[in-house]
Amino acid sequence: MKIERLFSTFAFALALCAPASATDAPVVKANIQAHPALWTVHSQDATAYLLGAIHILPPNVIWHTPKIDAAIDASDTFVFEAPLDDAGKAAIVEFIRAHGMLPAGSTLPSLLDDQGRKDYSAALALTNLQSDRLDRMRPWLAEIVLETSYMEQQHYSPLSGVDRQVLALAQARKKSLRYFETDEQQLAMLAPPDQDLEVKEFDAGLRQFQSDAGSIGPLVDAWSHGDAALVGRLMTKELDKAPGAKNELIDNRNDAWIVQLDKMLQEHHTYFITVGTGHLVGPHGVPALLRAEGYTVEGP
């Protein structure tokens, strides 16, 4: 699903603005112990731990392990994709106001053909959302709200995401924080400038929505078992549905991050780096790129 490819800051902002279902009720479930993969990078001056985040999780998933906790305890600098603080959330809310709504007199159903409107109605029924909550949204925003709302019905929440939990630990310990990207850099990837392309992508997303609605479960299972190879295959399968999406959302960003990491690893610090799992797996993942640069990388 698109939401897990997106960024933790934006997922969290959507949690604030996406309407909850009237049928929502607290659900008590037994804790699930996850064992996500952890990579360790060594340079002459620094050590960096790389933990792949799932940006949206059920609250009963416990991902702390002795190895991960030891890495957190050893680290003095915590690195994330982009700011997760209140200033970051404010920037995203402002972006939604500026780029998330259709012009006056235009509605989302009016942009769709007959089949698209049927698919849109089916997605609304699946998420228990009323059409008047989404009809004024641009397609890119409506698609993410639909997916977020569905996942929240399955008791997933951005508030339970790994990166938000790591941030809370770092802030409580008054650790130094760094970011690979600004909010502006991340948000620029969300709103396509070509409306025709945006509508086509939304239409395709609606057709896939019902069949893909459960796709987050296998991804979280693979991540929980530390199966980095399977996470990579599942992420690639999803990204391959949209031509160029992997380059834009994963590969190009990884290339930019490596430049920054190379500089960080020349400093005398121990880093705990938390980014989306898709950035850490496969031949163009951050660990593979660091190995190609000559760094020693331990991990799966």
Give pLDDT tens digits for 25-83.
445 467 889 999 999 999 999 999 999 988 888 888 999 999 999 999 999 999 999 88
3-state secondary structure of 11: helix
Q: Classify the C-alpha dihedral 20-159-151-202 as positive or negative.
A: positive
* Residue at 219 is within a domain: yes
Helices (H), ranges, the chain: 2-5, 8-17, 66-74, 86-99, 114-127, 139-153, 162-172, 183-187, 195-212, 216-224, 228-239, 245-246, 252-264, 286-292
Domains identified in the chain, total number = 1
pLDDT at 89: 72
* Residue at 27 is within a domain: no
The Cα 208–Cα 239 span in angstroms is: 13
Q: For residue range 190-244, what is the model confidence (pLDDT) as tens digits? A: 777 888 888 888 887 787 776 665 567 788 899 999 998 888 788 777 666 665 6
* Residue at 284 is within a domain: yes
Q: For residue range 134-193, what is the model confidence (pLDDT) as tens digits? A: 999 999 899 888 888 888 888 888 778 899 899 999 999 999 999 999 877 877 777 778
* Residue at 16 is within a domain: yes
* Residue at 262 is within a domain: yes
- In Å, how far are 13, 56, 154 from 127, measured between CA atoms? 18, 17, 10
C-alpha gyration radius of the chain? 19
pLDDT over 60 at 18, yes or no: no
* Residue at 58 is within a domain: yes
pLDDT at 243: 57
Length of the chain: 300
pLDDT at 39: 97
Q: In the beta sheet, which residues pair with residue 78?
A: 177, 272
| pTM, to two decimals | 0.84
Residues 55, 159: contact at Cβ < 8 Å? Answer: no
* Residue at 26 is within a domain: no
Q: Which residue has the higher pLDDT, 206 or 258?
A: 258
The packing angle between helices 162-172 and 8-17, to 10°, is 100
Q: For residue range 74-120, what is the model confidence (pLDDT) as tens digits? A: 999 999 998 877 666 777 788 888 889 999 999 999 999 999 999 99
* Residue at 25 is within a domain: no
Q: In the beta sheet, which residues pair with residue 79?
A: 178, 273
pLDDT at 11: 58
3-state secondary structure of 276: strand
pLDDT at 20: 46
pLDDT over 60 at 19, yes or no: no
Residue type at 227? D
The Cα 197–Cα 262 span in angstroms is: 36
Range of the domain at 293: 2-20+33-298
